[in-house]
Amino acid sequence: MGREYIRDTTQRNVGNVAGDIVLYEDFENALFLWPITAGDNGTVARTTAAASVYQGGGAMLMTQSATGVIANPATRAQRLIGAMPSGISVLDFMANVRVSSPNATMGFDSRADTGIAIVITGLRIAYSAAGVGSLQVETGDDTWTNVGLASDVPRDLAWARFILRANIGALRYVSLQVNARLIDLSALSTPTIDTDGLQQHTVLIQVFDTLDNGASLAIDNILFRVE
């Protein structure tokens, strides 16, 4: 099934979770399994700085700083996973927005290539001002729908847990959990794009910033599973 197995050293951190664990990433090692596309003035690196690590000794720190109008204001890191078992896909991760800014977005996508189409489940934090923004899910080709409340947007420098569930077979979202609050997404459809025939799953994280504000995001403890 192309499933990745968890090292004994990290399995204790996962705890009791339902379903098949496909990926657990705690960033205790180098990022060589995360292909990186750095935008103009963008960086992605493993960090051991205590302020940017949720648990253990490492996290992934992404920064995008643009100067004026540039060709590529997005910095991305992705992880490729083999074919997934059927069920409800669950993307569970800890995020710490180090610096937010106007016109900055923090994106968290998973893309399932079923061989028929690529099903996208997309979540992003879109900022209108420093520390002020909205949670959005992708419901069409670069079409985003606001979900939740303004208070669900995490404050700068505060860790928040996100759990995004989607039914890939039914092309529907299920729910988004932000810390302890559960948001029903069952009325929203997941968008699709043409398949490239690879039948694999991709986890994609990005920081997009069109101003020179140094938008920055720390990610730790990514858990991808199927319920």
The domains of the chain are located at: 22-66+77-226
Beta strands 117-129 and 104-113 are: antiparallel
Smallest Cα–Cα separation from 95: which of 224, 219, 221, 216?
219
Smallest Cα–Cα separation from 223: which of 1, 35, 45, 55?
55
In which band, very low, low, confident or very high, does the pLDDT at 68 lie, cut at 50, 70 and 90?
low
In which band, very low, low, confident or very high, does the pLDDT at 66 lie, cut at 50, 70 and 90?
low
Q: What is the pLDDT of residue 7?
A: 38
For residue 14, pLDDT over 80 is answered with no
pLDDT, averaged across the chain: 86
Q: Considering Cα of 22, then 25, then 30, then 31, what sign does the dihedral take?
A: positive
Smallest Cα–Cα separation from 91: which of 26, 15, 176, 28?
176
Q: Can you give the pTM of this predicted structure?
A: 0.88
For residue 1, pLDDT over 80 is answered with no
The enclosing H or E element of 63 equals: strand 59-64
In which band, very low, low, confident or very high, does the pLDDT at 9 lie, cut at 50, 70 and 90?
very low
Q: What is the CATH number of domain 22-66+77-226?
A: 2.60.120.200
Q: What is the rounded radius of gyration, in angstroms, for the C-alpha atoms of the chain?
A: 17
- pLDDT tens for 107-153 read 999 999 988 899 999 999 999 888 889 999 999 988 999 999 989 99
DSSP state of 189: B
Residue 57's CB: how many other CB atoms inside 10 A? 13
For residue 5, pLDDT over 60 is answered with no
The three-state secondary structure class of 151 is: helix
For residue 26, pLDDT over 90 is answered with yes
**Cβ pair 10, 26 in contact under 8 A:** yes
Residues of the chain with pLDDT > 70, as a percent, come to: 88
> For residue 93, what are its two tokens?
């991760």
For residue 189, pLDDT over 50 is answered with yes
DSSP state of 150: G
- pLDDT tens for 152-176 read 998 899 999 999 999 999 999 999 9
